[in-house]
Amino acid sequence: MSVTSSVISLFLFLSLINNFSKCCIEAPYFGAPHLFQVTPPVDHAEGPTWDSRKDILYFVDIHAGDIYSLKFLTGELDSIHLNGEVTPVIPSKTDPEILIVGVDRNVVAVEWNGKSKFYRTKLLTTVSKQFPTSRFNDGKADKQGRLWFGTMGFEDSRGVTPNQGVLYKITRENLDDPEVMVAPVNISNGLTWNYANDKFYYIDTPTRKIVEYDYDDEKGAITNGRVVFDLALYDAIKGNPDGMTIDRDDNLWIALYGGWAVIKVDPRTGHLLQVVSIPAEAVTSVMWGGPNMDLLFVTTSRTSLSQEQRLRQPLAGSVFALAGLGTSGWQVFDADIVDKI
């Protein structure tokens, strides 16, 4: 799909959503989910995050080193290029034009207006000096603006080097020595908090498990880790858990890398509630967004596909939006570790 046709598709999608909102204000929608392609494919789309201040969806193309901004109301897609593997990307609380970004093993502040090709960067810290070939993979900010960024081991055609990943907590005060929260990790991936902010959910992808911790927001501490969902118990569900978010009902939405799907899970019961098919094998992450926070944006990848597989999956690498899920999410927290560049 060309950029032009993608924008046209997005406009049709926005028109449908706007019309739907006008006619259904008093009556919730209980129909089947609707899937829309909202960007053309890139190599490895990941790390979607919604900034409600600007109605912008940010996401990255990890291996290409690109950060994208998708303007929801216009469909305009812009990007900048950084030198390194880029993920995640988190808006800053103190300045809406500053993004906090993982670049290889570095945490970098990027000043960018989301449109021009001009940007400035400032290195904030470097982690995992003991694993020089590792890199950041996923992360979010907590309610206090602290960063929870995780790494993964070196990856090549043979797979990922095990036990070289770490989940870090990064604050203004510990930039020189970020705190290790979980280690060792294989592929640090999806993480999120419940609405009461007393539970923290975390994925180490190869384990195929979602772990819940008790969470102390004042201290930024996690304790009493326990498995609340094990994908290995569901033979019909393929792939591994990747990015993750949570809805207003405290149900988890999880991208399945290699599984052609996004799944909805109740962490209180451990039950699988819903499977939503995606027209790409490698589903990488999910994030709530849109003016009403009721669209689930889904990123996908084509980086591991053969040429033959790419022909069979022409939409792989696109960002999609799921509408009509009968629930919504919450605006994710912004980073608060730097004031300006």
Which segments are annotated as binding site for substrate? 135, 137, 155
Known binding positions: 46, 135, 137, 155, 189, 242
**Three-state DSSP state, 299:** strand
203 token code pair? 């994925």
Helix%, strand%, coil% for the chain, nearest 5: 10, 50, 40
**Cβ neighbours of residue 174 closer than 8 Å, sequence gap 6 or more:** none
How far is Cα 43 from Cα 94, in angstroms, rounded to an integer?
32
**CB burial class (10 A; 0-12, 13-18, 19+) of residue 304?**
middle
Q: What is the DSSP letter of 95?
A: -
* Cα distances (Å, whole numbers) of residue 326 to 116, 117, 247, 261: 36, 38, 10, 18
* Cα distances (Å, whole numbers) of residue 238 to 123, 258, 261, 270: 39, 7, 9, 17
**CB burial class (10 A; 0-12, 13-18, 19+) of residue 224?**
exposed
How far is Cα 215 from Cα 189, in angstroms, rounded to an integer?
18
Known binding positions for a divalent metal cation: 46, 189, 242
How far is Cα 341 from Cα 338, in angstroms, rounded to an integer?
8
Q: Respond yes or no: is residue 242 known to be catalytic.
A: yes
Q: Which of 138, 204, 242, 336 is catalytic?
A: 242
109 token code pair? 């502040």
How far is Cα 222 from Cα 219, in angstroms, rounded to an integer?
9
Q: Mind telling me the catalytic residues?
A: 242
